[in-house]
A and B are shown apart, each in its own frame.
Chain A
Amino acid sequence: SYVLTQPPSVSVAPGQTATLTCGGDNIGSRSVHWYQQKPGQAPVLVVYADTDRPSGIPERISGSNSGNTAILTINRVEAGDEADYFCQVWETTSDHRIFGGGTKLTVL
C-alpha cells in the first residue's frame, strides 16, 4: 500500500521558517492534507487539497506539493506552533485515509 514518509522531528527558532516534508511515490499527483495535533488534543486540519486553508488558519501556514514531496511551511514560527504534524492522502476507491508517521515540531 501507499506509504507517506515524514521526518520524526524538526526544530526551529521563533520567528524563523519551519519546513515540514511528506514524501511519497509521485505524491504530486495526489491531494495532500495536513493536520496539527497538540498534546492531549484531537488533530486540527490546517491545510487541505495541497494548498487550501480552512477558515481560522493563519496565512503564515501554507502547503505545496510536487513530484515526490509535499511541504507544509510555517512562516514566523511561534511557540504555539509546537505540535505534531501529520500529512494524509486519500485512496478514492477504498476510502482509505493514509497518514504519514508525523513530525514533531519543536520551537527552540
Chain B
Amino acid sequence: QLQLHESGPGLVKPSETLSLTCTVSGDSIRRSRYSRVWIRQPPGRGLEWMGSISFSGDTYYNPSLKSRATVSLDTSNNQFSLRLTSVTAADTAVYFCATGPPLRGEIQHWGQGTQVTVSS
C-alpha cells in the first residue's frame, strides 16, 4: 500500500524559504515511474498544483509561482521535496504531496497534508 507523509516546519517567517519533504512508503522512487506532485490548499479555498517531477527527473512548475518553487527527488531516502523561496502570507496553506501514474493526469495517492503558516 503506497503511503505518503509530509514533514516540515509549521511556521515560516515572511521572505524566508519553506522546505517540505515527502516520505514515500510502499513504493520505490528509484524504480517507480510515478509522477511526484506538490499541491496546496489555502484556508477555505480550492486546490492549486504547484509543481511535479517525473520518474526521469524532469520538473514542471505552476507559472503563478514565478520561479520560486523547486521540486527534487532523494532516491537514497525514498523522498521528494519542495522548496519555496521568498514566502509571504499568501503562501499560508495546507501542503499535500501526491503521486500519479506516468503519462496520465490523475492524482492517485495523497499525503494527509501539512499546515504551513507564514507569519512573523
Contacts and interface: CB of A to CB of B under 8 A. Distances in A.
A40 B105 CA distance: 24
How many A residues touch the partner, as a band?
20 to 34
A8 to B, nearest CB: 10
Main SS of chain B's interface residues? Answer: loop
Nearest to A44: B110
B75 to A, nearest CB: 20
A43 B46 CA distance: 11
A48 B111 contact: no
Given A42-B111, A42-B112, A94-B60, A88 B46 contact: no
Given A42-B96, A86-B46, A86-B47, A95 B108 contact: no
Interface string A52-83: 00100000000000000000000000000000
Nearest to B107: A45
Contact of A88 (B35, B105, B113): B105
A90 B104 contact: yes
Given A95-B35, A95-B60, A96-B62, A43 B105 contact: no
Contacts of A101: 46
A48 B104 CA distance: 10
Interface of A: 31, 33, 35, 41-45, 48-49, 54, 86, 88-90, 92, 94-102
13 contacts: A31-B104, A31-B105, A42-B112, A45-B106, A48-B106, A54-B108, A88-B105, A95-B35, A95-B54, A96-B60, A97-B105, A99-B46, A99-B48
